[in-house]
Structure 1
Amino acid sequence: MRMPICPSLSSCRALLLLLLISACGTAPLGDGLYQVKSGDTLYSIARSTGRSVSELQRLNQLSDNTIQIGQILKVGSGSPGPQASTPAKPKPTPPPAAPPAKAPAIELAWPNKGPVLQGFNGKTNKGINIGGTAGSAIYAAASGKVIYAAQARGYGKLLIIKHNQDYLTVYAHNQQILVKDGESIKQGQNVAQMGNTDSDKVMLHFELRFKGTAINPSPYLP
């Protein structure tokens, strides 16, 4: 069997991990469990399972949004274990977590000067969609460090920049990403080119997230 040639050490590691997973076989997952596949992000898994990123972080005791191919994540209550002889009293359902009334301030710059095609509504659109031409420059909204720069299901070529412990920004559907995972970024730096990967039109889908929860970026933009 011919082994494919790896263009880089990181891609070799990812390929070896995929081969190991496929060689060992995949055991059936219980209810409420999900096995991470190539191209998954915590955002895409949350979107497909109807959970929020903060819920997945809490269920899996994740300190950030980093996940690995083959990792088993809890995405729901899972299969119940053996019941005690005395049935437990049902716990009251907690009220849904409200978004922060006033998140600490962060000053953002516009990632692109194109027209806003669709604004934030928190349900069908958890960011703003900015129109423009393919290949036009996309700029970092604030200084920080790249924590994701790769293809992601539903987001196309996706770039995520972490600014501090609370905030990160998301740049989706890029034609080309110009920075690498782990790279330090300055506000206003050209980090990507606008495109339409995994989208029906050329645009930038831009999100601002506070502690993993999408919030309206418009009040933070000049």
Structure 2
Amino acid sequence: MTYDATFENSRPGTRLRPAPSLLLMAVAAAVLAGCANPSHRAPVEDRSGRPVASSPASAAPETAPKPPPGQENLGKPGYYAVKPGDTLIRIGLENGQNWRDIARWNNLENPDRIEVGQVVRVVPPGADPNGVVVRPVAPAARAESRPASGSASGASAPAPAATAPAAASTASASPASGSSSSSSVPAARDGDDDVNWTWPAAGSVVAGFDEVRSKGLSIAGKAGDPVYAAADGRVVYAGSGLRGYGNLIIVKHNATFLSAYAHNQTLLVKEDQAVRRGQKIAEMGASDADRVQLHFEIRRQGKPVDPAKLLPSR
């Protein structure tokens, strides 16, 4: 016979007792009420192995980016802030200096590693802010005429310790100009403008100087035509590392002037070599150009000037 608790509790004179199922429901409701109390929540533990993001209050402060080197010299005369696309060769050209000297003045262990915003010295120690060295310019050594091995790739011997380039006192007649005049380069600042220029090639000028589109003259010719040094000086760059110039030679004549010879087919000199006015230094070509030509620049303290105003009349 089956026991019926409901029937037993319903008999007269009998004390009512709660059914077992109702008792269990009451206990469960009490437990659930205790769990719902927000003041008694158990700590949550993440066992997924994923990193838990910290709150903003506990996050470590971010390290500020390190400023480029040389910021203490920003804006000072004789210093240059590196721009996007700059190389040490271009900085040297734009400031009328040997790129190797700039590397030495700034203790650059790797000249290929400069960063945008970095401030570098572009005048030698002991010079005034305009970059004019106040000591005599050494005379040029005997010029070499043999071709330089590996010159088209920019390979060269290390530059000497002297910061002033060589400038010779007397030069022979130039094949390009036929002139036999000569000049000396005095140590005084005013004398740096007295450079005995000659035409660097015999062809006709097909594009003149334009401060916006052309920083020099374009001289026509055939592949292999001779390219001459426009004045006495010393080669500070010979290679193809400057975009837009192809096989390039840069000659520094004194503390004021340098000249550039671009798009050559063959380079016949190397860096740190002394050259004479009218000496053949390259053969005309079309490297990084759409036609055979010589692009010729003269720069005064790094600023392009019109070569036609300095070269002799033909």
What's the CA shift string for 1:59-107, capped at 9, x where partnerless?
A: xxxx643355433144589xxxxxxxxxxxxxxxxxxxxxxxxx83322
Q: Does 1:72 align with 2:114?
A: yes
Report matched runs for 1:93-172 at 5 Å: 104-152=193-241, 153-172=243-262
- Native 8 Å contact 1:35 1:70 kept in 2: no
What's the CA shift string for 1:20-79, capped at 9, x where partnerless?
A: xxxxxxxx9979866989xx4533x69xxxxx924xx9xxxxx643355433144589xx
Structure 1 runs (4+) greater than 4 angstroms displaced: 28-37, 73-77
Change (3 A) 1:34 1:213: closer
Report matched runs for 1:40-51 at 5 Å: 40=87, 42-43=89-90
Provide the C-alpha distance between the structure 2 equivalents of 1:36 and 1:123, rounded to a whole number of angstroms: 18
Change (3 A) 1:200 1:148: same
- Native 8 Å contact 1:35 1:72 kept in 2: no
Provide the C-alpha distance between the structure 1 equivalents of 2:195 and 2:83, rounded to a whole number of angstroms: 34
Report matched runs for 1:18-37 at 5 Å: none
TM-score (norm 1): 0.61
Q: In structure 2, give the amino acid aligned to 1:42.
A: I
Question: What is the aligned partner in structure 2 of residue 196 from structure 1?
Answer: 286
Change (3 A) 1:64 1:191: closer
Provide the C-alpha distance between the structure 2 equivalents of 1:179 and 1:29, rounded to a whole number of angstroms: 42
Unaligned runs of 5+ in 1: 1-27, 47-51, 58-62, 78-102
Q: Does 1:53 align with 2:94?
A: yes
SS of 2:309's partner is: helix
SS of 1:53's partner is: helix
Q: Which structure's CA Rg is the greater one?
A: 2
Query: How big is the alpha-carbon RMSD for the aligned residues of Structure 1 and Structure 2?
Result: 3.0
- Tell me which of 210, 213, 221 is aligned to 2:303: 213
Provide the C-alpha distance between the structure 2 equivalents of 1:164 and 1:74, rounded to a whole number of angstroms: 29
More strand by share: 1
SS of 2:99's partner is: coil
Q: In structure 2, give the amino acid aligned to 1:146.
A: V
- Native 8 Å contact 1:36 1:69 kept in 2: no
Provide the C-alpha distance between the structure 2 equivalents of 1:171 and 1:156, rounded to a whole number of angstroms: 10
- Native 8 Å contact 2:224 2:265 kept in 1: yes
Provide the C-alpha distance between the structure 2 equivalents of 1:209 and 1:141, rounded to a whole number of angstroms: 12
Provide the C-alpha distance between the structure 1 equivalents of 2:114 and 2:297, rounded to a whole number of angstroms: 27
TM-score (norm 2): 0.44
- Native 8 Å contact 2:267 2:282 kept in 1: yes
Unaligned runs of 5+ in 2: 1-64, 69-80, 104-109, 120-191
- Native 8 Å contact 2:250 2:260 kept in 1: yes
Q: Does 1:174 align with 2:174?
A: no
Provide the C-alpha distance between the structure 2 equivalents of 1:117 and 1:202, rounded to a whole number of angstroms: 11
